Amino acid sequence: MHDMHGNSPKTLRQELLKQRKQFAASERYTQIKDLLAADLKRFLATDGSSVQTIALYWPILDELDLRPSMITWSKNVPGRRLTLPYARPDKHLDFYEWKDGDSLIPSAHNVPEPDPSNLNRPALQPDCILIPCVGWSSSTVNGKTHYWRLGYGGGYFDRTLADLRKKNPKLICIGIGFDWQKLDDDQWSAQTHDEPLDLLLTESGLLR
C-alpha cells in the first residue's frame, strides 16, 4: 500500500522548509542572496522603472531577506514607498506603509506585521509584490509558461492577489525562490484558485 500522506502538500511543505533551513546555513547561500538582490535591483531599474510602491515581506523561516536592498531602493528616489502585509481575520492581506525602524506587532502566525491603527502609516496599493516561495512549479500552455507558488497553505495570498489584479491590471507579482525548490507535477500542481506569478526570481535569474 502507498503512503498517501507522503504526497500531501503539508508533508511536502515541511520537507521543503527543512531543506530551506539547511540551504540557508550553507556557504553558497550568501552568494545566492547577493545575486538575487542584484537581479531584483536591475529589474526595478529597467522594467520596473514605473514601480513606486513595493510590498515587501518580513522574512521568517529562513526566507530570503530583501529588506536592506529594498530600503536602499526606496531611499534613492523621492516618492518610493515600501509596504508590509497585514493579515485580516477574513484571510485577505492589506498593505501598510513601512519604514525601517517601525515597531511591528506579531500576527497570529507570529509574523511581524504593521499596526493598522497607526495613522502615520496609511494602507497603500502596491505596484509590485515580492512574495517568498516554499516551492514553485511551472506549466506551459500554448507556448506560454506560467510560474506558480507553493506557499504556507493559508490562501491569503491568492485571495489578495486576485482582488489586487482586478484593481490594478499592471500589478507585478514576483515570486522569490531557489532553483532547488522546483516541483514537478507528481509532487504538486497548482489548483484553479491559485494565482500565477508574473515573474519568478531564482539564482538562475528572472524567469518570466
**Helix (H) and strand (E) counts in the chain:** 4, 11
- What are the grid coordinates assigned to 194, written together? 491559485
- Distance between CA atoms of 96 and 55, rounded to whole angstroms? 9
Query: Is the pLDDT assigned to residue 11 strictly greater than 80?
Result: yes
The pLDDT mean for the chain works out to 91
Dmax (CA) for the chain in angstroms is: 62
For β-strands 112-113 and 128-132, DSSP reports them as unpaired
**Average pLDDT for residues 28-41, to the nearest whole number?**
94
CATH superfamily of the 4-207 domain:
NagB/RpiA/CoA transferase-like (3.40.50.10420)
CA 28 to chain centroid: 21
Question: Position of cell 515600501?
Answer: 82
pLDDT of residue 190: 86
Q: 10 Å Cβ neighbour count for 129? A: 25
pLDDT above 90: percentage of residues in the chain = 78
- Are 125 and 53 in contact by the 8 Å Cβ rule? The answer is yes
- Distance between CA atoms of 92 and 21, rounded to whole angstroms? 27
pLDDT of residue 68: 95
pLDDT of residue 7: 61
Query: Is the pLDDT assigned to residue 81 strictly greater than 70?
Result: yes
pLDDT of residue 2: 39
Question: Position of cell 525601517?
Answer: 100
- Distance between CA atoms of 47 and 41, rounded to whole angstroms? 10
Q: Give φ, ψ of 72 to 5 degrees.
A: -60, -45
Query: Is the pLDDT assigned to residue 182 strictly greater than 90?
Result: yes
203 a known binding residue?
no
**Average pLDDT for residues 54-61, to the nearest whole number?**
95
- Distance between CA atoms of 1 and 33, rounded to whole angstroms? 42
The 10s digit of each residue's pLDDT in 97-153 is 999 999 999 987 789 999 999 999 999 999 999 999 999 999 988 888 999 999 988
